[in-house]
Amino acid sequence: MTGSTPSEPEEKAGSSDTPAASAQPASRAACAVVGIGASAGGLEAVSHLLARLPPDTGMAYVLIEHLDPKHESSLVRILAKATPMPVRESTNGMRVEPNQVYIIPRDTTMTIAGGELKLKPRGDARGPHLPVDAFFRSLAEDRLSGAIGVILSGTGSDGTLGLEDIKAAGGITLAQDEESAKFAGMPQSAIRSGCIDVVSTPEGIAEEIVRIGRHPYVATPSAVEHAPPVDDEEGFRKILMLLRSSFGVDFSGYRDSTIRRRILRRMVLNIKDDLADYARVLEKDGSEREALYQDILINVTSFFREPETFEMLKQSVFPQILKTKPADAPIRIWVPGCSTGQEAYSLAMALIEFLDAGGKSPNIQVFATDLSETLLHRAREGSYPENVET
């Protein structure tokens, strides 16, 4: 149900193997899209970012700002002064085009599908309004490696879960540094999640977007998805050997295409165009080897993922376990590839619910393991964004 172990290559090896990434929108060959999430203090940060962008990057920019639902927004007028690119308020069905800026309207939730912006009324949905997460998650599905997610100044944690989806889909993630952010809540939440590739000022983020936007991995995501480069088999195998010697993990059982996409993602961030050059970087730079290793083991999990599985546990598996155990014997569960812990906690909750319904209270022990020490640390903390789905 989770996947951060090479024993499950079909599911874990990057989010290109997740259900969200299985769709193939007709517009996949269209331009890369930069989603920008912001809240309190974000207007100044967005203005600085846009002001540093040239008008011909070949990418589209979509701003998801937390807006007062009862007051007209003046973002279009204000931001039009910061950039020579056309700035417009989004409408339902509007197709995103390169070198243009799109603004979310007030009192709406906006997503993207097939290269078109989809709007629906915000409504009175239960829980907090999380427009950044909603857009980022749809962006990950629609653009894969052509998705770029940016979090700027704001309070709360909106955007963190969406950025995790973007990174899992092979996109690039950036966040404003805490020093330059007027309100560091949103960028801080994203940075602490471990899913951010680049932390910088708004101006620095703009420069990074321009640089990575020229790389074929970002500019032509359809080519990367359907035909990952295979022109340097020796370099590819060398990279696998470096990972094996450094971490004791053999990734040769993973899908080659998945591993190549994760390598390409790191090559973009390291300004390298061929595998041989990148392999030389890995030889010299242990921190980059660690970054690639963590990229390959990127967590794809959530609370109660695949709900039908948990229902089957309650109906068939848990009753069978109790039949064969003495009343005073503990119930022990092992979760391999636990990622950031959501599955382990979900299993514990499901078992407790089942036992409570039957009036039983044996001791429970849940063991969880993972190849990634970084993910295990987060699992041990058991701390998740306030908007985590349960």
Tell me which of 29-38, 44-53, 380-389 is least confident: 380-389
Residue 180: which of 199, 208, 156, 206 has the closest Cα?
Answer: 199
Catalytic positions, please? Answer: 39, 66, 158
Q: Which domains does the chain have, with CATH numbers?
A: 31-219 (3.40.50.180), 233-296 (1.10.155), 307-381 (3.40.50.150)
The residue among 84, 28, 78, 32 whose CA lies nearest residue 56 is: 84
Q: For 92-140, write each residue's pLDDT tens digit.
A: 999 999 999 999 999 899 999 999 999 999 876 666 789 999 999 999 9
Average pLDDT of the segment spanning 145-161 = 94
Taking 60 as the threshold, does the pLDDT of residue 5 lie above it?
Answer: no
pLDDT for the residue 20: 37
Mean pLDDT of the chain: 84
Assess contact for 304 and 344: CB atoms under 8 A: no
Q: What is the pLDDT of residues 191-241, one digit of tens each?
A: 988 889 999 999 999 999 999 988 877 876 655 554 445 457 888 889 999
What whole-number distance in Å separates Cα of residue 59 and Cα of residue 172? 13
> What is the pTM assigned to this prediction?
0.78
pLDDT at 337: 82
Which secondary structure element, helix H or strand E, spans residue 175, and what is its range?
strand 172-176
pLDDT confidence of residue 113: 95
Distance CA(87)–CA(64), nearest Å, equals 13
Tens of pLDDT, residue by residue over 279-313, are 999 999 999 999 999 888 876 777 888 888 888 89
| Dist. CA 314–CA 320, nearest whole Å | 10
